[in-house]
Structure 1
């Protein structure tokens, strides 16, 4: 992947995955406080396909694009108020989730079973960040934060972890075969 245009290629790849996250964020099932959205599927796909460093960079780009006001967060929302609001912890958690998920795969193997383990761990990282911010911003007890921000998302999160693993590994293999990325992506 790395030739004279490598930096530009990395910027483009991170931008593409930030855009995919913005698009999937608009697929949502409304719930009272925290909607179920496609964002977490996008985070898992990103980390599974492009790995830890660039996955985290893509999520930083996504958060920054939303922070400046572009409507890239779930429900076509944007602005710093989303990041510091009740659901902002999930978005901030995407950064560490992408890094850890990608790192697990880089340290082991890019296979569907390993991706499922990595994406499941990533799911819980996102949920922990989200529940923590819910607790703080809405002055909830830990029990209330778990009932509101974790428990409703575990089953659907496992489904998204599977989809991210299966689709991510499939796409990654094709990109490696096409020599568009290396195994693993290294900077």
Structure 2
């Protein structure tokens, strides 16, 4: 019975990773940093899997991209993407998942507290991305913030609000179907 549960967990992680791989490459180029749906996919992964497994699904996605499969924004992949101007955001997503996932696991039924966690996680992701963008593009932190954060705040807040409102419904459905466990 225990091995069946592990197989089920691995399969669900695989499915969620596939969803991130599908949404991750979809992007709207608006400059050095494109608009992507990766963060929205991660938020839903956290509601579906919880912090640990949701973060793991993102890390698997990241490793798939690093192996060269075109799952990153603009259907790109490989090490050059990680060490390029947007690599800090790719790393920052790990911390976004850990922080947002911690809040979602504790407060999944209180959308406003989950929202706070996702905002804090997104801010940390912005920090990693801005510092790396400034370094890679040889620009000031202010300039990197202007091109790598300011244009994305409104869209990311909308994605966070969508996740905070829809995510609890997803988790309730999974719990009702006995597909989500706190120890999951």
Same fold (TM over 0.5): yes
Structure 2 partner of 1:94: 93
Structure 1 partner of 2:27: 28
Structure 1 unaligned runs (5+)?
A: none
Structure 2 partner of 1:146: 145
Structure 2 partner of 1:10: 9
Structure 1 partner of 2:169: 170
Pair 1:52–1:92, CA change in 2 (3 A): same
Query: Alpha-carbon deviations, 1:34-82, whole Å to 9, x = none?
Result: 1101111111111222221111111110100000000101111010110
Pair 1:130–1:38, CA change in 2 (3 A): same
RMSD between aligned alpha carbons?
1.6
CA distance in 2, matches of 1:102, 1:90: 17
Displacement of 1:98 after TM fit? 0.9
CA distance in 1, matches of 2:22, 2:108: 28
Structure 2 unaligned runs (5+)?
A: none
TM-score, with length taken from structure 2: 0.93
TM-score, with length taken from structure 1: 0.92
Displacement of 1:109 after TM fit? 4.2
CA distance in 2, matches of 1:167, 1:19: 20
Displacement of 1:29 after TM fit? 1.7
CA distance in 1, matches of 2:135, 2:4: 44
CA distance in 1, matches of 2:125, 2:14: 21
- State the structure with bigger RCO (CA 8 A, min sep 6), 1 or 2: 1
Q: Is 1:46 paired with 2:55?
A: no
Pair 1:164–1:109, CA change in 2 (3 A): closer
CA distance in 1, matches of 2:167, 2:109: 9
**Matched-pair contact (CA < 8 Å) for 2:48–2:180:** no
**Matched-pair contact (CA < 8 Å) for 1:44–1:122:** no
Alignment partner of 1:16: what SS?
A: helix
Query: Alpha-carbon deviations, 1:65-105, whole Å to 9, x = none?
Result: 00000010111101011011111111111111111111122
The count of corresponding residues between Structure 1 and Structure 2 is: 184
CA distance in 2, matches of 1:163, 1:31: 22
Query: Alpha-carbon deviations, 1:150-186, whole Å to 9, x = none?
Result: 111111110000111222211111011000112x2x2
Alignment partner of 1:73: what SS?
A: coil
